[in-house]
Amino acid sequence: MPGYKLYYFNVRGRGELSRLILHYAGVPFDDFRFEGKDWPAFKSKMPFGQVPVLEVDGEKMLAQSHTIARYLARQHGLAGQNDWEQSQADMYVDCIYDLHGAMRTPTWETDPVKQKELFDKVNQDTIQPHLEKVEQHLVKNGGGHLVGQGLTWADIAYYAYFTTPIMTRLGGEVFSKAPQLKKLIETVGNNPNIKKYVETRPVTSG
């Protein structure tokens, strides 16, 4: 079994997808988290001065949140059953990457009134049109999973995005037009490995 060390801040953010993949797959790893003030000490050690970074067997480093998550998904059977399914999963996770980008400004806004305004705008302009399409594809795929007939990291990525603190606080109506996706996300959340991790992980603001 390779030795994994995942370096990231003590937040969910862009590290959480990899954590969820590893917990879902029951793969042990060193979930190395540091506080903001400790970041400068680690920054220079990282391949591109950014985190998350996955260190494998204490020697090789991999950067970029979705590259790390894809690598782990592929190593542990969560990437799809064939080349086409793998690409479908990649596609959905790329969509989530863009949605993360869109949610950055509301997430960092400290004024609660302004934050709700910003959130509602992102929801209306970006998330709702996207969910409309995803719901169509999900139903067409049989309603159970985004890709193929089994769980992939794409399902976990949607779960991770739609259960962030900001989404949990402000996103009550976000699935009003996407009931199947809502069900899928609940199913991921009810997985025993995910549930156990979520109950015991550090409580963080993002």
Residues belonging to the active site: 8, 14, 108
Burial of 47-84, coded b for 16+ CB within 10 Å and e otherwise, reads eeeebbbbbbeeeebbbbbbebbbbbbebeebbbeeee
Please tell me whether residue 62 binds another protein under the rule CB under 8 A: yes
Q: 64 or 193: whose CB is closer to another protein?
A: 64
Nearest approach, Cβ of residue 196 and another protein (Å): 28
Identified binder of another protein from the candidate list 90, 159, 185, 191, rule CB under 8 A: 90
Stretch that binds another protein, among 20-28, 44-52, 109-117, 144-152 (CB under 8 A): 44-52
Identified binder of another protein from the candidate list 10, 25, 34, 64, rule CB under 8 A: 64
* 3-state SS class at 43: helix
Angle at CA of residue 108, ends 105 and 111, nearest 5°: 100
Please tell me whether residue 145 binds another protein under the rule CB under 8 A: no
Q: 10 or 141: whose CB is closer to another protein?
A: 141
Site of tokens 């993949």: 21
DSSP single-letter state for residue 110: -
